[in-house]
Structure 1
Amino acid sequence: MARLLFAITLTVCCLPLLPGVGGLLASAFAFLPTLGLTEANFSGWHQVMAWPALWQSIQLTLISGLGSSLLAVAFSFIILQAAWHTPIWQKISTRLPALLALPHVAFAIGLVLLLSPSGWLFRLLSPLLGEKPVTWALVQDPYVIGLTLALTLKETPFLLLMSLSVLRQIDVARLTMVSTSLGYNRTATWLKVILPLWLAKMRFPIFAVIAYSLSVVDVAMILGPNTPPTYAVLVWQWFNDPDLALLPRASAGALLLFALCGLALLLFRFLEWLGCQCLNRWQYTGRRHAWLPGKLLWWPVFITPLAIMPVLLVWSFALRWSFPDWLPSRYSLRFWEQELSYVWSLVGNSIVLAVISASVALLFAIGCLERSTNQRRSVPRAVIAIPLLVPQLSILFGIQVAVYSLPGQWHVPATIWSHIFFAFPYVYLALDGPWQQFDMRLMQTARSLGVSATLAWWRVKLPLLLPAIILAWAVGASVSLAQYLPTQLLGAGRINTLTTEAVSLSSGLDRRISGLYGLMQAMLPLIVFALATVLSRIAERRLLPTSTPTYSGAKHHDTVCQSTHHKRA
């Protein structure tokens, strides 16, 4: 069975990419026989290069994408060096899953309502700034300050959680003890000794953050500038152009976005090599005492998402809220009554997609992990890397071109496939740690008592890993609930979810509606994680006898399982 699931996983996750890449390349070079374009040419590339604000859009993308990624890496390291193995670290680690459960779209909508010129923050500061809204804004500003800030605050918890297992592998306590004996203080030890090791083992999560930040569309549409937009949003606008003759321009733009992300990853890798391996005299020369801000950086990372939920809640019930009042003068249920019937249908669509994609991705992940355990053949890293490191826009548009060339209606299975494709890596990574830490001697003992391998798996391994499996399923469901581009592109506009509707309404003029949909979009993953946490704890108490050596990884990886909800959305 594990071998069959492994083969199906490779087929489902890799085979559709071949026509997808072919469709993207053919469309980028204007070879679309269905549209009457039968001769390949560079017309799409010429149109891209002739776009008047192209380089400004690319510049904004690089500033927001690379800037937020580097800031998130810096914030994460500074918080770790100050808090690791201190009393405050326990509080930080227990709050990270709640921060990651908040979807990017809901976080972005909340920031708009919080940081806009008439937002809640400036209402609270009105005694200092005056009774009129300020003339500058932190959202949709031409300098992408708001977008960079949002991506930094949202990606820092993800990197912190990815650092948990990494720092355990590094053995920080031993390195700190040796460095202290040589006269280095704590901060200098982390900078000179732990930072190079941490960067090397955190390369994959950092690459995922860079790729997402450069290619993000939904958050950039809400918080980014409009004239011109970031490059990913510009390509998305080209995709939505009603003139199909301009399709090669959009395909060429998507291919250029793919190349841009690849160059950015190579640049980061070069800088890491340059600083840690080539020009590394700073590691063993200079002062033995250093200072970094430390725990103070944790508070904006924690407080900002915490303030999002009440902002969304108050705006969804506000009827009249004049500036500079701190709270609405009148409340109403009118907007809830007006939208509730439609919201329930969106919730239903979102839940159906999440349940199917999370369940299938969980089966695939278990099959691949079992095969790697029994036959020492793990799933190829390319299968894990593609959904995380390649821009969604580049992958999905090629697949869209290939799907639309098939006879019949394929938007529903294509959308389900895309959700499975993007949820699988997160579910796999969430289960990889618990699976590797499982003590196989328990299975050998069961087999020695005459139990078959299948029965031993159901009676021994499954109960011990069930808490981690439940949380991994919640990870997959939350990833599906946050998907915007896959649902819009492959759903052909016929499948509406809370995420797609929240993004569409975020650009509207009615903040009450935006707050309502942002609140609903934020609550659904939180409910999923809350239920999964309760079920995992019940399973842990009922299925693990107190006299039996328990699987410690189930508890230790509760937080790690929940960490993968960022996308990567």
Structure 2
Amino acid sequence: MFLHLLFFSAIALCILPLLPGMAGIILPALSWLPHSLTGTTANAFSLHAFELVITWPGIEQAIGLSLFTGISSSLLALLFTFLILQAHWQSPRWQRIERWLAPVLAMPHVAFAIGFGFLFASTGWLYRLVEQMGFSTQGWDAVVQDPYGLGLILALAIKETPFLLLMSASVLKQIKVDTLYKTASGLGYRHADIWLKVILPQWLPKIRLPFYAVLAFGLSVVDVSLIIGPTRPPTFAVLVWQWFNEPDLTLLPRAAAGALSLLALTLLVLLTARVIEHAVLNIWNKWLYSGANQLRLPGKSTIYAILLLPLIVTPLLVLWSIAQRWRFPDLLPTRFSFRFWQQELAPLWEYSYNSLLLAVVSSVIALVIAIGCLEYRDRFQRQIPFWLITIPMVIPQLSLLFGLQVTSHLVAGQHFWLLVSWSHVIFVFPYIYLALDGPWRSFDRRLTQSALSLGLSQWHAWWQVKRALLMPSIWIALAIGMSVSLAQYLPTQMLGAGRISTITTEAVALASGQDRRVSAIYGLLQAVLPLIFFSLALVAGRCSGVQPCKAKPTNSKAQRSQSIDSKSMNPKIVYSKQTKSKTCC
């Protein structure tokens, strides 16, 4: 009964809201608004809002920038991922690379964008270094807020590559790269040919969903574009966000039409990507059978730029947060002060409390629901379709949240905390579900069956066996959920109506022209909190895992014990019928 409740809770909280979300964007785009917004009951349907979008000055350039930056950054991240994998997968360096992926992934996009600006702005640290080397940077074009979005492309590509690397690790283990490599080597293929003609055609379809998530994010990103993206004109997503913030509510249909257009544009790009993938791998695939070629692929040094750049950003945030005087082109500040930390200490406590509360509440709810859905799948062989779970990952946040925000006006009262927490659950749930899906599938069910045969109830068998062995994965999934919640900018702003301030919302607001020192403080705090989450999760996972010990022999007839040794898991779990205790040997 409890599993049924969790399963239907997932549908009610995370799936069904997509329907009013779509209705809440389509109806306003057709010039229909709720009475709570307009104060009138008469609303005539029309396409006037779409006419306003089409005739907006510079709309072609804004859409072109979104397509150029989103597609280029996603393809560049995919290219970086493939080059790094083919260069390091079968080498001893790969284990070290995997260990470094966690801290890089832990840094939110906003914190990285702020540090990226400190590094590559016209007065950034990179330009200071060039000046100190004796070269003049006068007249150099900066890559931060440049008119072509080159800085935005580079930042998104670097930030999304670790995510694709992490997703690719499990994929390459599934397709058994080592076996494929040995077989192809025996047929005369060299390293580059094996990866291009044997591994790539199997890796690309399996990495499709993470790549679509990266592509959709690049096309619709708002917070990073506000910090380092082009401004005149901005990207289409930023332009729609500016329309949404217009004080005149009669212009809200224009914002709805823009959000719906952004959704249609994203879906069209995703469909085009699917068609191109099918054509390259199944129609224009003669390159797969052209035999061995003497090709060489770069990539050995690419990983250093991907991993080192986010690590360089953090010291820059620290320096700017305590810099009192830092003239150009000095490499280091000439005066240091903690005055800005003291100045921001009071609001920092409030924003940190709001961020942590939202992260804990939404992540715990999403974690419980995700575990319930996975257990429901294992028990009854029924599940929510995978593509339906991942919809919040592959459609623009702005489009979905616009519909949810309009729909929320139909509910009487001001429940901002409830709405913001609910929106965080919607976007956190897919990530936690994906993080736990692999460990749940790899768990050996014979362990639970043996525990049941020893007299344990279904609940005690799950709690004492399955939960105990999967606890490290559960802690990591919880840390991932909290990090995702902490990075949510649009859900907090739109459904909170600006009344709930978090570290992320303040970081984005302060990064658009305020004092660099204050921006560095919020960016640094936003970067440190997810790292703390992952560190605590790793420590908790080690402490809560099954620890090896000696099982004490007993001759008592009242106690009946049995060892269970699984081929896939080394620990032998010993159960006692009287004490229901668990030891491991």
Task: Find 1:193's aligned residue among 189, 198, 209.
Answer: 198
* Kept after mapping to 1: 8 A contact 2:469/2:546: no
- Corresponding letter in the other structure for 2:515: D
1:459 aligns with 2:460: no
User: Residues of 2 paired with 1:554 and 1:60: CA distance?
Assistant: 53
Name the residue aligned to 1:167. 172
**Structure 1 residues 554 and 119 mapped into 2: Cα distance closer, same or farther (>3 Å)?**
farther
Q: Give matches, 1:374-453, under 5 Å.
A: 374-453=379-458
The alpha-carbon deviation at position 554 of structure 1 amounts to: 12
Name the residue aligned to 1:20. 21
User: Residues of 1 paired with 2:228 and 2:115: CA distance?
Assistant: 10
* Kept after mapping to 2: 8 A contact 1:347/1:498: yes
- Corresponding letter in the other structure for 1:311: L
The alpha-carbon deviation at position 550 of structure 1 amounts to: 8.2
* Kept after mapping to 2: 8 A contact 1:470/1:532: yes
The alpha-carbon deviation at position 450 of structure 1 amounts to: 1.4
Task: Find 2:189's aligned residue among 184, 193, 207.
Answer: 184
SS of match in other structure, 2:478:
helix
- Indicate the larger mover: 280-289 or 407-416: 280-289
The alpha-carbon deviation at position 127 of structure 1 amounts to: 3.1
The alpha-carbon deviation at position 458 of structure 1 amounts to: 1.2
- Corresponding letter in the other structure for 1:145: L
**Structure 1 residues 539 and 342 mapped into 2: Cα distance closer, same or farther (>3 Å)?**
same
The alpha-carbon deviation at position 452 of structure 1 amounts to: 1.2
Q: Identity over the aligned pairs, expressed in percent?
A: 52
User: Residues of 1 paired with 2:570 and 2:519: CA distance?
Assistant: 38
* Kept after mapping to 2: 8 A contact 1:115/1:121: yes
**Structure 1 residues 379 and 33 mapped into 2: Cα distance closer, same or farther (>3 Å)?**
closer
**Structure 1 residues 352 and 551 mapped into 2: Cα distance closer, same or farther (>3 Å)?**
farther
**Structure 1 residues 550 and 301 mapped into 2: Cα distance closer, same or farther (>3 Å)?**
farther
Name the larger-Rg structure: 2
The alpha-carbon deviation at position 274 of structure 1 amounts to: 1.2
Name the residue aligned to 1:526. 531
**Structure 1 residues 281 and 418 mapped into 2: Cα distance closer, same or farther (>3 Å)?**
same
Q: Give matches, 1:50-129, under 5 Å.
A: 50-128=55-133
| 1:17-63 C-alpha deviation (Å, 9 max, x unpaired) | 22221111110000125224510001110100011110100111111
Name the residue aligned to 1:232. 237
The alpha-carbon deviation at position 130 of structure 1 amounts to: 3.8
User: Residues of 1 paired with 2:321 and 2:401: CA distance?
Assistant: 33
Q: CA RMSD of the aligned region, Å?
A: 1.8
Name the residue aligned to 1:6. 7
**Structure 1 residues 545 and 21 mapped into 2: Cα distance closer, same or farther (>3 Å)?**
farther
**Structure 1 residues 269 and 453 mapped into 2: Cα distance closer, same or farther (>3 Å)?**
same
1:347 aligns with 2:352: yes
User: Residues of 2 paired with 1:235 and 1:167: CA distance?
Assistant: 39
SS of match in other structure, 2:324:
strand
User: Residues of 1 paired with 2:10 and 2:134: CA distance?
Assistant: 57
Q: Of Structure 1 and Structure 2, which has the larger fraction of its residues in helix?
A: 1
1:274 aligns with 2:279: yes
User: Residues of 1 paired with 2:178 and 2:15: CA distance?
Assistant: 42
Name the residue aligned to 1:243. 248
User: Residues of 2 paired with 1:499 and 1:321: CA distance?
Assistant: 26
**Structure 1 residues 553 and 519 mapped into 2: Cα distance closer, same or farther (>3 Å)?**
farther
SS of match in other structure, 1:125:
helix
- Indicate the larger mover: 17-26 or 123-132: 123-132
User: Residues of 2 paired with 1:554 and 1:329: CA distance?
Assistant: 57
1:360 aligns with 2:347: no
**Structure 1 residues 399 and 441 mapped into 2: Cα distance closer, same or farther (>3 Å)?**
same
* Kept after mapping to 2: 8 A contact 1:146/1:224: yes
* Kept after mapping to 1: 8 A contact 2:225/2:238: yes
SS of match in other structure, 2:297:
coil
**Structure 1 residues 553 and 313 mapped into 2: Cα distance closer, same or farther (>3 Å)?**
farther
The alpha-carbon deviation at position 311 of structure 1 amounts to: 0.3
The alpha-carbon deviation at position 287 of structure 1 amounts to: 4.0
* Kept after mapping to 2: 8 A contact 1:30/1:44: yes
Name the residue aligned to 1:263. 268
- Indicate the larger mover: 119-128 or 251-260: 119-128
- Corresponding letter in the other structure for 2:269: A
**Structure 1 residues 551 and 531 mapped into 2: Cα distance closer, same or farther (>3 Å)?**
farther
TM-score by length of 2: 0.92
User: Residues of 2 paired with 1:11 and 1:393: CA distance?
Assistant: 21
- Corresponding letter in the other structure for 2:458: A
* Kept after mapping to 1: 8 A contact 2:156/2:218: yes
Q: Which runs of 5+ in 2 are unaligned?
A: 552-562, 572-585
Q: Give matches, 1:288-307, under 5 Å.
A: 288-307=293-312
User: Residues of 2 paired with 1:456 and 1:541: CA distance?
Assistant: 15
* Kept after mapping to 1: 8 A contact 2:190/2:292: no
TM-score by length of 1: 0.95
SS of match in other structure, 2:300:
helix
Q: Which runs of 5+ in 1 are unaligned?
A: 556-569
**Structure 1 residues 239 and 290 mapped into 2: Cα distance closer, same or farther (>3 Å)?**
same
Task: Give the number of the structure with larger relative contact order, counting CA–CA contacts within 8 Å between residues 6 or more apart.
Answer: 1
User: Residues of 1 paired with 2:487 and 2:365: CA distance?
Assistant: 17
SS of match in other structure, 2:301:
helix
SS of match in other structure, 1:147:
helix
* Kept after mapping to 2: 8 A contact 1:117/1:134: no
**Structure 1 residues 33 and 340 mapped into 2: Cα distance closer, same or farther (>3 Å)?**
closer
**Structure 1 residues 214 and 550 mapped into 2: Cα distance closer, same or farther (>3 Å)?**
farther
